[in-house]
Amino acid sequence: MLDRHLLARLRPVLDAAGQWLGARGVAADHVTWTAFGLGVAAATAIASGAFLGGLALLWLSRALDGLDGSVARSGTPTDRGAFLDITLDFLFYASIPLAFALADPPANALPAAVLLAAFIGTGSSFLAYAVLAAKRGLASTAYPDKGFYYLGGLTEGSETLLCFSLMCLWPQYFAGWAYGFATLCGLTIATRIAAGWHAFADR
């Protein structure tokens, strides 16, 4: 829900940084892998109970994740880069609830499982829509620079990052954050199913 507005404000800064890195031979795939590595480090820190350290690594990871597209646009974007970016993003998102479950299994395992199930719903509806949109030649007007059809929703990257941040700042309330965000993800799933139901009806 917030991604489009935040990207519009950050785009000039990201594009300038992307051009600077691209001019020095930094490839977008390198940025993507580095962002993912920092995300894994964040999950590892959270699993060990270092929640504030995990939060710092998490934000650094997502800052780089926002930069790889700008680096790609400074040269020639590739389908491989778009594939790598979305795949590693979903793996990162899944790693954070898992990390909280590992940090305190008795308290966090069930809410983490519920949140991961919700992530499967948002991820599968997002990717299924993108596949069929490409098949029909549809283009996203909200996110024209993405490498595939990007269907927005109530819970996008910005909202997920905010939720993860709250979990790191107040880990004792992880269950509440997880159940609450899973509920919002459920609303996103419902709206995406409705969008696909109407967009892909037989002509």
Domains in the chain with CATH codes = 3-199 (1.20.120.1760)
- Tell me the CA distances in angstroms from 170 to 28, 44, 174, one per residue in order: 34, 17, 7
Q: Which of 100, 81, 118 is nearest to 174 (CA)?
A: 100
Distance between CA atoms of residues 9 and 153, nearest Å: 19
CA 20 to chain CA centroid, Å, is: 24
When pLDDT is averaged across residues 22-50 and rounded to a whole number, the result is: 94
Residue 18 pLDDT grade (very low, low, confident, very high; cuts 50, 70, 90): confident
Rounded to two decimals, the pTM is: 0.88
The reported pLDDT for the residue numbered 185 is 96
Tell me: pLDDT of 23 over 70: yes
